Amino acid sequence: MSLDINVWRCRIGIFSGNNSKVIQKRSFLGSYNTNLFYKLFLFLLILQLKVSFTGSIYLFFTWSLSKDLIILIFFQHFLAAMLLLRCGDILPNPGPKSKDFLSVCHFNIQSIPSHNFAKLSSLEAFNSVHNFDIICISESFLDSTFSSDSPDLALKNYRLARADHPLDIKRGGTCIYYKEILPIKVSNIINLQECLLCEISFNNQKCLIVSLYRSPSQSANEFQSFLKELEILIMSICTPGDSNLVIIVGDFNAKLSTWNPTDSDSIEGIELSAMTSS
């Protein structure tokens, strides 16, 4: 049997009457004053829309929107809020995202100054998304003509540490950008020349980060010397029984098929792999 539209509205608690100023009725919300009820919802809607104070007062008493529309919008917001809270993993006020880890990345940039420092601009754009704590760079191609305080080398909120080519030419080299708020100690490894060591205590644990570059033009004897000095460095920062976190990054100019299936094994790759796995 069909129902009159006004009867149906009364049964479900949504009623719009042009002639009645005050209508008392029963619904799932109980007994209430209709006009006061609608005005309350209109006021909440105005706050949601961020209408100005003067406009809010005007709309509050003239309420040009229809009452049914006000009710519909209110319950749409109410239903969305209830569904979110029902999920169980939505916080009403989550605050800033906590970070309990250290983020480190490495780039073989192949010359920071090239193309008017365009690569550094690209790196800065990439970092704006990932927000790394420490950025290690190989083949920086910096020499003494570039000041570390130069705006061309600046990354906002980061400090710069460098280990340039030992002959002070625009070749090779490594550098590290690290957040200025971090209590990091950076030192050059003299015997390895193009090598930097970062030390930071993080979450009650010491983290050691090595960034280095090895020239592919080293002779066989120079490479053996490099391996020996690298082994001494690793043994000094990886003492048995400690809980230090050690990260070694860089461009070793060594190839091994187990590292990259498309590469052929090189002598440097074989010997470096044997040294680090022993």
Q: Is residue 98 one of the residues assigned to a domain?
A: no
Q: What is the pTM of this model?
A: 0.64
The structural domain count of the chain equals 2
In this structure, the answer to whether residues 134 and 178 fall within a common structural domain is yes
Whether residue 92 is contained in a domain is answered as no
Q: For residue range 184-241, what is the model confidence (pLDDT) as tens digits?
A: 999 988 888 899 999 998 777 889 999 999 999 999 999 999 999 999 998 888 877 7
Residue 128 maps to a domain: yes
Query: 125 and 183 in one domain?
Result: yes
Q: Answer yes or no: do 131 and 200 share one domain.
A: yes
Is residue 247 pLDDT above 70, yes or no? yes
Q: Cβ(141)–Cβ(163) under 8 Å?
A: no
136 and 79 in one domain?
Answer: no
48 and 142 share a domain? no
- 176 and 122, same structural domain? yes
DSSP the chain: ----HHHHHHHHT----SS-S--EE--TT-SEEHHHHHHHHHHHHHHHHT--HHHHHHHHHH--S-HHHHHHHHHHHHHHHHHHHHHS---SS--SPP--S--EEEEE-S-SSHHHHHHHHHHHHHHHHH--SEEEEE-----TTS-TT-GGG--TTEEEEEE--TT-SSS--EEEEEETTS--EEEE-GGGSSEEEEEEEETTEEEEEEEEE--TT--HHHHHHHHHHHHHHHHHHS-TT---EEEEEEE-----TTT-TTSPP-HHHHHHHHHHH-
80 and 123 part of one domain: no
Q: Domain for residue 94, yes or no?
A: no
Domain membership of residue 78 as a residue range: 5-87
Q: Is residue 95 part of a domain?
A: no
In a domain, 182, yes or no: yes
Q: Which of 122-131, 234-243, 256-265 has the lowest mean pLDDT?
A: 234-243
Predicted confidence (pLDDT) at residue 3 exceeds the cutoff of 90: no
Residue 269 lies in a domain: yes
* Other Cβ atoms within 10 Å of 142 Cβ, number: 27
Least confident residue range of 37-41, 154-158, 162-166, 260-264: 37-41
Whether residues 109 and 247 share a domain: the answer is yes
CATH number of the domain bearing residue 233: 3.60.10.10
177 located within any domain: yes
83, 108: one domain: no
Amino acid at 223: F
Same domain, 132 and 269: yes
* Amino acid at the residue 245: L
pLDDT tens digits, one per residue of 15-48: 444 443 333 333 334 444 555 555 555 555 555 5
Assess whether 151 and 260 both reside in one domain: yes
Do 152 and 273 fall into the same domain?
yes
Of the residues 87, 117, 147, the one at which a domain ends: 87
